[in-house]
């Protein structure tokens, strides 16, 4: 991990700051990628990793119920690394495996990661392609939220994202293995509170983002929640995920021409 040489504010970073930072907050002068940033991300990721472990245990238990072997469950968690779409895939699991429906549904659910990646692109575009895309593999809802908060608070070390993401990856795959092995002993995941762990993590992240942004996040959240709830009632499948995310981005898109 190398640190970029000092210099004037880079154009992508200045644009990101103009679009996302609160008024009066100066843009970062450079983007770095260092070991210090990696360890900072790893440390900041510990609280959300607890929720990841609980969610991974739940997935492992359900994978056992769906008939997946230990190797199959761990391989899915390592390659897909997306809890919500993996749970949906399990709900659709059958013999023979309906590959096309599962792939299509997974693409719809995970399309929100494209939007999340675009919000970070102005900073990661200054890094070598291998470094940037390698970091993006570890982009999850939790790692994106923590990384966004870090940048908005003045941080400028892009290694923060893989620091959080690798910790979550290890916890996710490890918890999947434990859940798959001990699944017979956890007959009712809800009785252990595992089904609420994912919700609890996101409530904590939303609280932190609200504190950082104040009332400016209210309109996007209301739009996203309203559209997602309506789509969940009116449309089949998981379109509510993509439509809710797209609706939440409308205020920022509408505001840009006036800034």
Q: What is the pLDDT of residues 141-150, one digit of tens each?
A: 889 989 998 9
Place of tokens 């950082």: 212
pLDDT score at 204: 65
pLDDT score at 22: 43
Indicate the range of 19-28, 48-57, 96-105, 214-223 predicted with least confidence. Answer: 19-28
Residues in the chain: 259
Whether the predicted pLDDT of 213 surpasses 70: no
pLDDT score at 156: 93
Q: What would the 3-class secondary structure string for the chain be?
A: CCCCCCCCCCHHHHHHHHHHCCCCCCCCCCCECCHHHHHHHHHHCHHHHHHHHHHHHHHHHHHHHHCCCHHHHHHHHHHCCCHHHHHHHHHCCCCCCCHHHHHHHHHHHHCHHHHHHHHHHHHHCCCCHHHHHHHHCCCCHHHHHHHHHHHHCCCCECCHHHHHHHHHHHHHHHHHHHHHHHHHHCCCHHHHCHHHHHHHHHHHHHHHHHHHHHHHHHHHHHHHHHHHHHHHHHCCCCHHHHHHHHHHHHHHHHHHHHC
pLDDT score at 92: 79
In this structure, what is the dihedral angle of CA atoms 193, 196, 197, 198, given to the nearest 10 degrees?
A: 150
Indicate the range of 4-8, 36-40, 117-121, 248-252 predicted with least confidence. Answer: 4-8
Strand pairing partners for 157? 32
Whether the predicted pLDDT of 74 surpasses 90: yes
Q: Which of 106, 78, 102, 77 is nearest to 92 (CA)?
A: 102
Asked whether the beta carbons of 54 and 197 are under 8 A apart, the reply is: yes
- CB neighbours of residue 4 within 10 Å: 15
Q: What is the pLDDT of residues 155-181, one digit of tens each?
A: 999 999 999 999 999 999 999 999 999
pLDDT score at 224: 83
pTM, entire model = 0.71
**Dist CA 218 CA 194 (whole Å):** 29
pLDDT score at 25: 41
Whether the predicted pLDDT of 237 surpasses 80: no
Whether the predicted pLDDT of 215 surpasses 90: no
Q: Which residue has the higher pLDDT, 230 or 218?
A: 230
Q: What is the pLDDT of residues 54-71, one digit of tens each?
A: 888 888 988 988 889 999
Q: What is the pLDDT of residues 96-137, one digit of tens each?
A: 888 887 887 788 778 778 888 888 998 999 999 999 999 999
Q: What are the extents of the domains in the chain?
A: 30-214
Asked whether the beta carbons of 144 and 120 are under 8 A apart, the reply is: yes
pLDDT score at 69: 93
What's the average model confidence in pLDDT over 243-252? Answer: 76
């Amino acid at each position: 991990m190398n640190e970029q040489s000092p210099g004037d504010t880079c154009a992508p970073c200045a644009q990101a700051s103009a679009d996302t930072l609160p008024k009066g907050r100066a843009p970062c002068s450079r983007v770095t990628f260092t070991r210090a940033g990696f360890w900072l991300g790893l440390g900041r990721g510990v609280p959300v990793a607890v929720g990841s472990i609980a969610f991974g245990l739940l997935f492992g238990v359900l994978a056992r119920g769906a008939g997946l072997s230990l190797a199959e469950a761990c391989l899915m968690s390592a390659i897909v690394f997306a809890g919500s779409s993996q749970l949906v895939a399990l709900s659709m699991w059958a013999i023979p495996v309906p590959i096309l429906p599962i792939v299509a549904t997974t693409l719809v659910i995970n399309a929100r990661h494209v939007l999340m990646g675009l919000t970070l692109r102005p900073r990661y575009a200054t890094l070598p392609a291998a470094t940037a895309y390698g970091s993006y593999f570890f982009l999850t809802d939790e790692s994106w939220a923590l990384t966004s908060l870090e940048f908005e608070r003045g941080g400028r070390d892009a290694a923060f994202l893989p620091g959080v993401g690798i910790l979550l990856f290890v916890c996710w795959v490890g918890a999947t293995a434990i859940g798959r092995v001990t699944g017979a002993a956890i007959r009712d995941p809800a009785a252990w509170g595992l089904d609420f762990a994912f919700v609890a993590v996101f409530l904590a992240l939303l609280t932190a983002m609200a504190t950082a942004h104040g009332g400016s996040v209210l309109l996007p959240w209301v739009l996203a929640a309203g559209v997602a709830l309506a789509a969940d009632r009116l449309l089949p499948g998981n379109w509510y995920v993509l439509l809710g995310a797209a609706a939440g981005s409308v205020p920022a898109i509408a505001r840009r021409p006036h800034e």
